[in-house]
Amino acid sequence: MNHQITNKRDIGINFHPDINPTAKVWAPHAKKMQLEIHNKKPVCLKRENFGFWHASCPDLVPGDKYKIRINGKDCYPDPASLSQPTGVHDYSEALDLNQISTIKDKNWKGIPQEKLIIYELHTGTFTPEGTLEALSKKLQHLKTLGVNAIKIMPVATFPGNRNWGYDGVYPFAVHHAYGGAKKLAELVKTCHQKGFAVILDVVYNHLGPEGNYLNAFGPYFTKKYKTPWGDAVNFDDAWCDGVRDYFLENAMMWLRDFHIDGLRLDAVHAIKDFGPKHFLKELSDNVEKLNRQTGFDHFLIAECDLNDTRYIKPPEECGYGLHAQWCDEWHHALHALITGEKRGYYSDFGEIRHLAKSFRHAYVYDGIFSQNRKKIFGTSTAEIPGSKFVIFSQNHDQVGNRMKGERLTQLTDFETLKLTAAATLFSPFIPMLFMGEEFAEDNPFLYFISHTDENLVEKVRKGRKKEFRAFIEDAQPPDPFDRETFLKSKLKWNFTEDSKKQNMFEYYQKCIEIRKENPLINSCNRNNLLVRESESGNIIILLYNAGKESLSVILNFSENPVSDNIEEAANFKTETLLYSAHKKWGGEINNNGKPLITSKNMTQINMAPRSAALTSNTLI
């Protein structure tokens, strides 16, 4: 069976310019299949090879509601449904994907991977309205901020109206409460017109429990492997070909038909596949084929906690060919250093050397012993460019999986927030911000659901309590089903009324502006970077070198002011490009105060507590 995906969607309901609409369903064990169209005559499907069923549907029109009847008995929504307007248990709605694919900016050329500055957001809480249309109206804010890519948490249909999106059960259907398929396509077009790339979060390692009828159609899951969500998705067991096609078709649809620039692949370490060609390699091959056909560079970014470069190495080096991955260890090293937290995976971090190593190598554990894991862990990142790693000081997981959903705004102070921004935006990696951090949002980002199954809701409540009581006695996490939990997680857009928050926004603007203007940083070239820890042990210095010109990023993680000599001689002149402790950024140092002082025989740094500075250096 050939898993090369064609230039048009091949499963579910599809409309064609020259032939009747078609229905195609994968159900290898079924004996009989019917398309039950609301208020119209049922259509019988015919069995084809490899477990597929197919039918021509001359009476079907866009907007028709339908279900699929299996073996003359129960009816279910279409696994490849493009729309579930009345929920996960009800009728699917036929949509013409050809109409969606025409909504695009033909002049969009994309953004080079190393130039990406990503902004992660959740559609439901980013705006008061919680829709894709409302999101579109906030793009000017992001344009003013300076980011050039938005990463949208999953939009696949889930039960109810409130969810992070990782409980989706219809991977092809844009959630109706967000606005549906057309609104997503319109948002992508508007983003491209305004200069933003769009990255969509997709989940191929599991599906949610409520409304998940896939097992009624075939062996979408296997008992060979267990995951945190139960039986693994069937990528290598009997009848896995139809499952692989299902998810490959989904990825190609977002890129080809919705014109999404890239996909963020959730927890790829939970994709269990020991077949001769890993699903991720097959996905990468299909994306490369699409790129050759379109002349456009779509990309794949993986979330993976294995510190295994096989995922991001090219096929010629026996890799899967994914274009980048989230680097959680950079976050852990930074977070543990500034907060002092040592529970769980943070126990492997917390010293200045950990963050310094992550600046050098991305992975901290790159083949060394991890006390938390009780084993040697990770692989070397030698020769892998910085553009292969996405780093962040906050994201939906690291904030939302805390019991109270605290952002760094609640965990540290104003000066440290500026320090973390500089560390992120002046790194040799692709930076990502989490919605609201640019104006020090103080609302939490909590875990919330709106399942309609009361038993399932209670299981989630109990599960959250059990999770946190393992290390917090009598823990009482917010009720994830309570609508107030969701509402408390929405961004407040009144930050311009608060001088400190407005100041933070302007500081982020400046950091992003500097990154964009300096190819020494935005090239993500780790080969021109020297990382030093000062003798005091409280400072990290990043030196981006290009012959006569260099940039120094000085990061003081001490709670005290620090003075230190960093060179024997200083035959260069320096210009301060940014100093977070200056009064114009809400600090206490006069705006002409210099963090780096050079003389004939010495270079001295003078850094305020928890501060960051960037200087331009020219040899004389």
The pLDDT tens digits of the residues spanning 557-600 come to 999 999 877 655 567 788 999 999 999 999 999 999 999 877 76
Residue 6 has pLDDT above 90, yes or no: no
Residue 620 has pLDDT above 90, yes or no: no
Exposed/middle/buried for 482, CB within 10 Å: 0-12, 13-18, 19+? middle
**pLDDT, mean over the chain:** 95
| Predicted pLDDT of residue 5 | 63
Residues of the chain with CATH 2.60.40.10: 12-101
Give the count of beta carbons closer than 10 Å to the beta carbon of residue 50: 11
| Predicted pLDDT of residue 619 | 79
Please name the amino acid found at residue 258.
Answer: F
Q: Give the span between the Cα atoms of 52 and 45, in whole angstroms.
A: 9
| Predicted pLDDT of residue 516 | 98
Residues of the chain with CATH 3.20.20.80: 117-481
| Predicted pLDDT of residue 90 | 97
| Predicted pLDDT of residue 205 | 97
| Predicted pLDDT of residue 8 | 87
| Predicted pLDDT of residue 1 | 57
| Predicted pLDDT of residue 546 | 81
Q: What is each CA distance from 126 to 98, 196, 489, in whole angstroms?
A: 29, 17, 9
The pLDDT tens digits of the residues spanning 223-237 come to 999 999 999 999 999
Residue with tokens 């992508």: 188
Q: What is the dotted CATH code of the domain comprising 117-481?
A: 3.20.20.80
What average pLDDT does the segment 416-445 reach? Answer: 98
Q: Give the span between the Cα atoms of 270 and 433, in whole angstroms.
A: 25
* Closest to 520 in 3D by CA, of 547, 541, 550: 550
The pLDDT tens digits of the residues spanning 460-517 come to 999 888 888 766 767 789 999 999 999 999 999 999 999 999 999 999 999 999 999 9
What average pLDDT does the segment 157-166 reach? Answer: 97
Q: What is the dotted CATH code of the domain comprising 525-619?
A: 2.60.40.1180
- Whole-prediction pTM: 0.97
Cβ neighbours of residue 517 under 8 Å, at least 6 residues apart?
none
* Closest to 602 in 3D by CA, of 561, 560, 574, 562: 574
Residues of the chain with CATH 2.60.40.1180: 525-619
| Predicted pLDDT of residue 597 | 79
Cβ neighbours of residue 454 under 8 Å, at least 6 residues apart?
none
The pLDDT tens digits of the residues spanning 49-91 come to 999 999 999 999 999 999 999 999 999 999 999 999 999 999 9
Position with higher pLDDT, 568 vs 286? 286
Q: Give the span between the Cα atoms of 24 and 50, in whole angstroms.
A: 12
Please state, for a pLDDT cut of 70, what percent of the chain lies above it.
97
Q: What is each CA distance from 442 to 207, 382, 439, 491, in whole angstroms?
A: 31, 39, 9, 8
Residues designated as active site? 266, 303
CATH topology for 12-101 is Immunoglobulin-like (2.60.40)
